[in-house]
Amino acid sequence: MFIHTVQHGDSLYSISNSFNIPVEQLRSVNGLEVTTIVPGQAILIPLYQYTVLPGDTLSSIARKAFVPLDQLRAANPNVNPYLLQPGMQITIPDISKYVASTLSFYVVRSPELDKALINDFAPYSTYISIFEYRFGMNGDIINELNDIPAIEVSWESGVNIDFEQIRGADRDLYIGFLRLLKERLQSEGHVLTVAVPAKTGEDISWLAGYDYGGIGSVVDYMFIMAYDWHYPGSEPGPVAPINNVRSTIEFAINKVPRKKIILGVPLYGYDWSLPYESGSEVSAISNQDAIDTAMLYLSPIQYSEEVATPFFRYQDDQGQVHEVWFEDVRSMSRKMQLVQEYGLQGIGAWQLTLGFTAGPWVLTKFFTVRKV
């Protein structure tokens, strides 16, 4: 499996011919409702035989396939890297032996939709956290949630805690709460997971309420929300830049056992109106909708290697200029490489109803999903 970045002059038909794969399969795997692909767009090719293109080297093929160069060489012992010719077949090695847990969030909609989506994602899921119960100041649940149908079709029971904006003064109280909850759940055979904001150090005042070490000593798994470095209240930029994600992991593994850490990734980006001004209009956009928007407005997609994130600009029908930063199969692949590199428990997403058609393909390229 590898990724082709659309070049000027490419079409789905020409990509289909280059790699001997049906156009309809390309559309299905990548969730393409239309065929007007744009330069810079990432197209996932679900094949393990790569057809050499003009200018290719083993190094460039390894980068397209997100596999180590030495493994690519080992999978092709009879290929002389200095004698590559267009049309030659290169075997892409299987790197999916890493067993990983997945924990993703799901926002309840209706019994029919809930059952359908959970069943669809069951092959790719270890845990699904059904979102959300809210609590009042007295500790009572203050909202109604028709989650019984979703729970009945699920396969594992437990509790995920996502308390946000915890004050530094309350960090020990929070850990004490988690410890009491863990004791109660463990006695009944249930799992306790927790979602925490991304931290890269202890000197971030607004995150002082989250003691990674203390939290990690109590819970079964800790889902790190490694996203929203740029958000609706900020200037345009990457939502989950790879350098910040890496720094978060390196901080976390010094506080929490690696096999308790689940790296959270976003199935969304943001669409900023330009020129940016504080308070100007910003909207969230799913990764799939971002790709559709670029195709609709025939806007070339750029990719920042520094932050490993795609982005583009477009002008809407009213003449307003927008800048969109989102995630695609390239940026997701980089994050999955980090899970393998640091030996983490696994990966998860916010949130499944946003959709990302190529996501399960990328997931199973890198991992064997742990089942419970």
Place of tokens 């795997």: 29
End-to-end CA, the chain: 27
- 153 vs 20: CA distance, rounded Å: 39
Q: How many CB atoms lie within 10 A of CB 117?
A: 18
Question: Rg of the chain's alpha carbons, rounded to an integer?
Answer: 22
- 284 vs 282: CA distance, rounded Å: 7
- Give the C-alpha distances (Å, rounded to integers) separating 128 from 226, 345, 346: 18, 15, 13
Most distant CA atoms of the chain, gap in Å: 72
Q: Is the peptide bond before 275 cis (omega within 30 degrees of 0)?
A: yes
The residue annotated as part of the active site, out of 164, 235, 250, 341, is 164
Q: How many CB atoms lie within 10 A of CB 136?
A: 9
- Give the C-alpha distances (Å, rounded to integers) separating 224 from 18, 31, 137, 258, 265: 40, 28, 25, 12, 9
Contacts of 117 (CB under 8 A, 6+ apart): 106, 352, 353
Which helix (H) or strand (E) segment is 73 a member of? helix 69-75
- 109 vs 92: CA distance, rounded Å: 40
Spatial CA neighbour of 325 closest among 229, 239, 231, 226: 239
The answer to whether the beta carbons of residues 372 and 360 sit under 8 Å apart is no
Q: What share of the chain is helix, strand, coil (3-state, %, to 5)?
A: 35, 25, 40
One-letter identity of residue 238: P
Active site annotation includes 183: no
Q: What residues are labeled active site? A: 164
